[in-house]
A and B are shown apart, each in its own frame.
Chain A
Amino acid sequence: MQFMLLFSRQGKLRLQKWYVPLSDKERKKISRDLVQTILARKPKMCSFLEWRDLKIVYKRYASLYFCCAVEDQDNELITLEIIHRYVELLDKYFGSVCELDIIFNFEKAYFILDEFLLGGEAQETSKKNVLKAIEQADLLQEVRIFLYHQIHLL
């Protein structure tokens, strides 16, 4: 996987993870382009599109779009599975996750993602193990977590 973007229906970026080295300028351009392209698609359209030489896989959960860029030989369906798995992880961690949870605890969302994917590859396919690792790491931390229950993604 080359990168993952989370953005809202209004086109606001909520999370970005880049697994390929790119300059800030390029990153900005790519995310702007992609957000526009994906938001312009109709809701009934399929989750895949070809974009430059990459395949884009995206899925919308409530008001949030999750979007991944994979290479040509990669499997779109498993990428979709990765997205879903990530949403499930967020949901388990926050307990009925909503967009605001991700906005206000965005570093948590990153930590979960980092336990799940590493360098663009799935590192742990067991949900239980991912959550366990996060919980244990949290025990070492001194932070408050605010939870917002509004529109749930799942």
Chain B
Amino acid sequence: MALKIVKGSIDRMFDKNLQDLVRGIRNHKEDEAKYISTCIDEIKQELKQDNIAVKANAVCKLTYLQMLGYDVSWAAFNIVEVMSSSKFTYKRIGYLAASQCFHESTDVIMLTTNQIRKDLSSPNQYDTGVALTGLSCFVTPDLARDLANDIMTLMSHTKPYIRKKAVLIMYKVFLKYPESLRPAFPRLKEKLEDPDPGVQSAAVNVICELARRNPKNYLSLAPLFFKLMTSSTNNWVLIKIIKLFGALTPLEPRLGKKLIEPLTNLIHSTSAMSLLYECVNTVYIDVNTPPLPSLSLSLCLYLSLPPQLCVQKLRILIEDSDQNLKYLGLLAMSKILKTHPKSVQSHKDLILQCLDDKDESIRLRALDLLYGMVSKKNLMEIVKKLMLHVDKAEGTTYRDELLTKIIDICSQSNYQYITNFEWYISILVELTRLEGTRHGHLIASQMLDVAIRVKAIRGFAVAQMATLLDNAHLLTGNMQRMGICEVLYAAAWICGEFSEHLENPMQTLEAMLRPKVATLPGHIQAVYVQNAAKLFATVLKSQEGNTDSTAAQETSQLMIDRLPLFVQSANLEVQERASCILQLVKYIQKLQQKDVEVAEEVSALFAGELNPVAPKAQKKVPVPEGLDLDSWINEPPSESESEDEQPKAIFAKEEPKHSRPRREEVDEKELAKRREARKQEQANNPFYIKASPSSQKVYQEAPGVEHIPVVQIDLSVPLKVPGLPMSDQYVKLEEERRQKERAEKKKKEKKKRKEKRSGRGKKHDSGPESEEDITPAHQVDIVTEEMPEKSSKHKKKKQKKEKEEKEKKKKKKHHHHHHHSDGGGEEAVQNGTVEEEEPLLTSLKNKSSTYQVVVSVIFENKCDSFLKSMEFNVLDSLNSKLQRPEGSGPHDGLTVPFQLPPGVSNEARFVFTVQSIIMPQKLKGTLTFIVKDSSTHEKLDFKLHFTCTSYLITTPCYSDAFAKLLESGDLKCSSVRLEGVNMPFHHLLARICFHHHFSVVERIDSCASMYSRSIQGHHVCLLVKVTVSIDAKCDEPTLLGNVLDEIKQTFSQC
């Protein structure tokens, strides 16, 4: 069927129809615009004719031209004319043209209302259909308001063809004219149970879309939808219903419970990937996103198999060879990751595989996922893998993305996952070898941040930076590499600031004063000059120690020789610094010639350490009295002024006073609003210095880096700078370090057990190390709350932990009323509730990171039978473990080494190893024993409560040491109020001393300062006031919080 003629029309024969136009355009490829402009002229002529067929043909051609991008808005009225033709052929074309060309601002739409109404009520369903379709594209609020009733009537039309269109278009009407929703809703709800599946699906569609905007109002429909969901087999409908439930469940958690079964069935049974994806995506994800994350969490608790099942299903998607499914699987996975990181983390292998995918969008998705998956354990491995990809990556966008991701991954939450900073520095240095990256400044800011905050790393960092400076020509040699020269900024600053760590400062100084430096961007040169001065100071210091004074003078001469180059710099900053320093050095040289020792004074120029400043530090600065930050410095030019001027001329006599006192009306709310606006503005203003954890990062991108003429050296070989470390070696080192740690641990464990352990024990032995086991090799200074007030003073080094034997109070109440009844089991139940209240801390020894706590338990036999074969057992937690003798399993009990005659008490000691002491612990335990007469095993459950207090040791402290401690700024602060305590102040103090192991440092009238120290050396300082409020400071906020809670508890009991 090559040519199908429905009906001929003689009028058409002479005109150019759409096909001719298309063909013509294709034949005029060279002068298309000209051809089309002649066509448009023709069309204009055609539109002037009275024949509607000719007009319709013209409008049809215009619609085509509109798609090609030509403006046809001038023909809007002609389109309306064609729309109102009584012939379906033309009407159809008219409506199509309208739906393509009209939008809300087309003014002729107003003229169409009556025509559309007429068409809607046409006896021909296709007229109605065409009108509805057209309307869906160009409905305006006015049209919606005028036609809402007509469309509503159509929802009950006899023909399902019209009903479904009417239902769907109602959604557009609701959007444009929300008032129509209320009257139309009952009918819409009715349509959910329409006999025609098409209409039903349309209604589901509309309600689902409505519910996404405002779920609250549609909760009442949940049962109806539930019925639909279990009965429908139409995937299109099911997907919409699931989406709807996704919107409803956060509001009604009970729904989640009901949904488990049908959803699980769907997930297991469906073969449609789209439906499966919707189930997994909506139910477990949409629900998990705000606004109500807490509810969604509870939903997940309801759904007993959730994340695992989902992730498993997603794994199937990701493993699929279809790129689309892979992509969606990763996308959904990244959403689950936010709420259930654990269940995703086990699929790390799969995600890493995706990095090798040929599709870039999949690789980027996988990268996003990796960000959330890293842990201390796998960071190095993941980053190593990423570095390999960096080398392989083609295309700078993807490589830059990789680079930023590596840095993001490593630096997230204050470098939480980095255990070895030497490794990280090496990674950063390796990254500088990337060609053509735009992210030099990112690497630079990381280098600065790490070097400043990780004190232990400075020596290493400085050595690396010195090498980098030495090889600076490699970084700057190529024009393409200009972005990377930002790292030299960091390198120069680090070498200068921490120059005391430099092995060969003289060499670095020379590197920094090379003439080539002058080709670097201005802001980098400025840092070079400034830090050259710092280095100069260091060099002088070392040289003056020697007897040979000429060396020092030569150094000065070097400075004097090289600096003039910078004095000539076009950059003001460089020029200013250079000329300043040049003069200074000249003066120094003069002094040197007189044999004056100057090194001390020169280094005094740069004395003092720069410390990171906490983001909230500004808050700590008190606002001076009488300063109102919200009042204007100068009155703002009020609008009234400009208003004043005009009236003055006209109403010269009138008092302009009334417009003056506008400012007084500014109320609190207004002020708050302005404050907010100002904050906003500051946040957006690049020149406003924001409080950031490392304010050193604030330096601006050099403008016009690429304009600096540099000789281009073409390096096709990837650069390998001798002497620069390879990060890989750290992976190995770290592995060794951890192995050593693990071995030590094992040794300890082995002591406790014999080798002949069977299955379970062995698994435990070789099991993967847990996250807590990995201790970072370096500590990051994380400044969050407190501002270091004085940089020089530092927290006292942790005092040596002493072993201290301290018998503390102990009472183990054995409510052991022996009922001489037949069954011992009954009794055990009775006793099952006995709770051990006081932890009986006694002695402590520290062994690296684990601590031993000795608990002495006093057993008292209150019944009148003889008790024997007592066995004491505790369920270990991750943190606290009962030490068992060698050869016993982790769940074996310890035999109590004595028997108890009636009425006798005796004490036994048990050793626990504790890792973290900042949280209180409750261990569950049981005591089994045999009552001699009945010779049955009895059981007594108890709880062992390790309070945080029990880890505190009363340690005396002198008031000056105390003051120093408080000043050091290393302590976090917290406070608590004790309600309803009315006892003499000294009783109160005595109670704190007794129950919580504090000692009074000083007492002045109505307040007292108290001190205690934990077995891990945390300082806990209290300031207790007679008003019974306690302000406290501690270097471990969690510990402090818990201790305060316990103090509060003590006083709430009395």
Q: Is B549 part of the binding interface, using a Cβ–Cβ cutoff of 8 Å?
A: no
**Is there an interface contact between B1 and A76, defined as CB atoms closer than 8 Å?**
no
The smallest C-beta distance from A34 to any residue of chain B, in angstroms, reads: 14
Interface string of A95-112 (1 = CB under 8 A from B): 100000001101100110
- Using a CB-CB cutoff of 8 Å, which residues 108-125 of chain A contact chain B? 110-111, 114-115, 118-119, 121-125
The smallest C-beta distance from B283 to any residue of chain A, in angstroms, reads: 13
CA distance A124 to B168 in the complex (A): 11
**Is there an interface contact between A123 and B168, defined as CB atoms closer than 8 Å?**
yes
**Is there an interface contact between B18 and A147, defined as CB atoms closer than 8 Å?**
no
A47 contacts which of B169, B171, B324 (Cβ < 8 Å)?
B324
B93 contacts which of A23, A107, A118 (Cβ < 8 Å)?
A107
**Is there an interface contact between B103 and A22, defined as CB atoms closer than 8 Å?**
yes
- Using a CB-CB cutoff of 8 Å, which residues 824-867 of chain B contact chain A? none
Interface size on B, residues (CB 8 A): 77
**Is there an interface contact between A123 and B92, defined as CB atoms closer than 8 Å?**
no
The smallest C-beta distance from A69 to any residue of chain B, in angstroms, reads: 15
**Is there an interface contact between A141 and B104, defined as CB atoms closer than 8 Å?**
no
**Is there an interface contact between A45 and B168, defined as CB atoms closer than 8 Å?**
no
**Is there an interface contact between B324 and A142, defined as CB atoms closer than 8 Å?**
no
Q: Which residue of B lies closest to A74 (CB)?
A: B243
Residues of chain A contacted by B362 (CB below 8 angstroms): 46
Segment of B274-282, B505-513, B760-768 in the binding face? B274-282
> Given A45-B361, A48-B361, A143-B89, are A16 and B171 also a contact pair (CB < 8 Å)?
no
- Using a CB-CB cutoff of 8 Å, which residues 9-42 of chain A contact chain B? 13-19, 21-24, 28, 42
CA distance A81 to B239 in the complex (A): 13
CA distance A18 to B359 in the complex (A): 30
**Is there an interface contact between B278 and A126, defined as CB atoms closer than 8 Å?**
no
> Given A22-B103, A144-B4, are A73 and B212 also a contact pair (CB < 8 Å)?
yes
Residues of chain A contacted by B1051 (CB below 8 angstroms): none
CA distance A115 to B132 in the complex (A): 11
Q: Is B77 part of the binding interface, using a Cβ–Cβ cutoff of 8 Å?
A: no
Q: Is B884 part of the binding interface, using a Cβ–Cβ cutoff of 8 Å?
A: no
Residues of chain A contacted by B171 (CB below 8 angstroms): 119, 121
Q: Which residue of B lies closest to A47 (CB)?
A: B324
> Given A15-B67, A133-B161, A147-B1, are A75 and B239 also a contact pair (CB < 8 Å)?
yes
**Is there an interface contact between A129 and B198, defined as CB atoms closer than 8 Å?**
yes
**Is there an interface contact between A146 and B19, defined as CB atoms closer than 8 Å?**
yes
**Is there an interface contact between A124 and B137, defined as CB atoms closer than 8 Å?**
no
**Is there an interface contact between B358 and A44, defined as CB atoms closer than 8 Å?**
yes
Residues of chain A contacted by B93 (CB below 8 angstroms): 107
CA distance A46 to B328 in the complex (A): 9
Q: Is A77 part of the binding interface, using a Cβ–Cβ cutoff of 8 Å?
A: yes
Residues of chain B contacted by A13 (CB below 8 angstroms): 67-69
Segment of B5-13, B38-46, B111-119 in the binding face? B5-13
**Is there an interface contact between A118 and B169, defined as CB atoms closer than 8 Å?**
yes
**Is there an interface contact between A118 and B18, defined as CB atoms closer than 8 Å?**
no
CA distance A133 to B198 in the complex (A): 13
Residues of chain B contacted by A16 (CB below 8 angstroms): 67, 100
The smallest C-beta distance from A32 to any residue of chain B, in angstroms, reads: 9
Residues of chain B contacted by A110 (CB below 8 angstroms): 96, 100
Of B93, B137, B201, the most chain A CB neighbours within 10 A belong to: B137
CA distance A61 to B978 in the complex (A): 74
The smallest C-beta distance from A108 to any residue of chain B, in angstroms, reads: 10
Q: Which residue of A lies closest to B359 (CB)?
A: A45
**Is there an interface contact between A141 and B89, defined as CB atoms closer than 8 Å?**
yes
**Is there an interface contact between B89 and A142, defined as CB atoms closer than 8 Å?**
yes
- Using a CB-CB cutoff of 8 Å, which residues 60-93 of chain B contact chain A? 60, 63-64, 67-69, 71, 73, 88-89, 92-93
**Is there an interface contact between B6 and A107, defined as CB atoms closer than 8 Å?**
no
The smallest C-beta distance from B277 to any residue of chain A, in angstroms, reads: 5
Interface string of A42-76 (1 = CB under 8 A from B): 10111111000000000000000000000001011
Residues of chain A contacted by B358 (CB below 8 angstroms): 42, 44
A124 contacts which of B4, B19, B198, B246 (Cβ < 8 Å)?
B198
Q: Is B3 part of the binding interface, using a Cβ–Cβ cutoff of 8 Å?
A: yes
Residues of chain B contacted by A75 (CB below 8 angstroms): 239, 243, 274, 277-278, 281
Q: Which residue of B lies closest to A122 (CB)?
A: B236
**Is there an interface contact between B7 and A142, defined as CB atoms closer than 8 Å?**
yes
**Is there an interface contact between A21 and B104, defined as CB atoms closer than 8 Å?**
yes
A46 contacts which of B96, B286, B323 (Cβ < 8 Å)?
B323
CA distance A17 to B323 in the complex (A): 27
A78 contacts which of B103, B161, B239 (Cβ < 8 Å)?
B239
The smallest C-beta distance from B453 to any residue of chain A, in angstroms, reads: 35
**Is there an interface contact between B359 and A48, defined as CB atoms closer than 8 Å?**
no
**Is there an interface contact between B359 and A147, defined as CB atoms closer than 8 Å?**
no
> Given A28-B69, A46-B326, A73-B286, are A137 and B133 also a contact pair (CB < 8 Å)?
no
| Prevailing SS type, chain B contact patch | helix
Q: Is B202 part of the binding interface, using a Cβ–Cβ cutoff of 8 Å?
A: yes
Q: Is B284 part of the binding interface, using a Cβ–Cβ cutoff of 8 Å?
A: no
**Is there an interface contact between A145 and B328, defined as CB atoms closer than 8 Å?**
no
Residues of chain A contacted by B99 (CB below 8 angstroms): 114
The smallest C-beta distance from A141 to any residue of chain B, in angstroms, reads: 4
**Is there an interface contact between B169 and A119, defined as CB atoms closer than 8 Å?**
yes
Q: Is B22 part of the binding interface, using a Cβ–Cβ cutoff of 8 Å?
A: yes
CA distance A15 to B67 in the complex (A): 7
CA distance A145 to B8 in the complex (A): 11
Q: Is B939 part of the binding interface, using a Cβ–Cβ cutoff of 8 Å?
A: no
Q: Is B618 part of the binding interface, using a Cβ–Cβ cutoff of 8 Å?
A: no
**Is there an interface contact between A147 and B4, defined as CB atoms closer than 8 Å?**
yes
> Given A13-B67, A28-B69, are A81 and B198 also a contact pair (CB < 8 Å)?
no
> Given A107-B96, A118-B168, are A77 and B277 also a contact pair (CB < 8 Å)?
yes
CA distance A122 to B168 in the complex (A): 9
Q: Is B360 part of the binding interface, using a Cβ–Cβ cutoff of 8 Å?
A: yes
Q: Which residue of B lies closest to A132 (CB)?
A: B161
The smallest C-beta distance from B827 to any residue of chain A, in angstroms, reads: 60
Q: Which residue of A lies closest to B136 (CB)?
A: A119
Residues of chain B contacted by A81 (CB below 8 angstroms): 274
A21 contacts which of B9, B103, B328 (Cβ < 8 Å)?
B103
Q: Is B604 part of the binding interface, using a Cβ–Cβ cutoff of 8 Å?
A: no
Residues of chain A contacted by B812 (CB below 8 angstroms): none
**Is there an interface contact between A121 and B1, defined as CB atoms closer than 8 Å?**
no
Of A75, A95, A104, the most chain B CB neighbours within 10 A belong to: A75
Interface string of B277-301 (1 = CB under 8 A from A): 1100110001000000000000000
**Is there an interface contact between A123 and B361, defined as CB atoms closer than 8 Å?**
no
Residues of chain B contacted by A15 (CB below 8 angstroms): 67
Residues of chain A contacted by B277 (CB below 8 angstroms): 75-77
CA distance A14 to B69 in the complex (A): 11
Residues of chain A contacted by B6 (CB below 8 angstroms): 138-139, 141-145
Of A49, A124, A143, the most chain B CB neighbours within 10 A belong to: A143
Residues of chain A contacted by B327 (CB below 8 angstroms): 46, 48
Q: Which residue of A lies closest to B282 (CB)?
A: A73
Residues of chain A contacted by B281 (CB below 8 angstroms): 75
Given contact pairs A45-B360, A104-B19, enumerate 15 new A-B contacts (beta carbons under 8 Å): A14-B67, A42-B358, A46-B324, A46-B326, A75-B239, A76-B277, A78-B239, A80-B324, A106-B18, A114-B133, A118-B132, A121-B205, A121-B209, A144-B6, A145-B6
Q: Could you list which residues of chain A lie within 8 angstroms of chain B, going by C-beta atoms?
A: 13-19, 21-24, 28, 42, 44-49, 73, 75-78, 80-81, 95, 103-104, 106-107, 110-111, 114-115, 118-119, 121-126, 129, 133, 136-147, 149
Q: Could you list which residues of chain B lie within 8 angstroms of chain A, going by C-beta atoms?
A: 1-9, 18-19, 22-23, 60, 63-64, 67-69, 71, 73, 88-89, 92-93, 96, 99-100, 103-105, 124, 126, 129-130, 132-133, 136-138, 161, 164-165, 168-169, 171-172, 198, 201-202, 205-206, 209, 212, 234-236, 239, 243, 246, 273-274, 277-278, 281-282, 286, 323-324, 326-328, 358-362
Q: List 25 A-B contacts (CB under 8 A).
A: A13-B67, A13-B68, A16-B100, A18-B137, A19-B137, A21-B104, A21-B138, A48-B361, A75-B274, A103-B22, A106-B64, A110-B96, A118-B132, A118-B165, A121-B168, A121-B209, A124-B198, A129-B198, A133-B126, A139-B6, A140-B89, A141-B7, A142-B8, A143-B89, A144-B4
Q: Which 5 A-B pairs have the closest CB atoms?
A: A77-B274, A142-B7, A46-B323, A119-B136, A46-B327
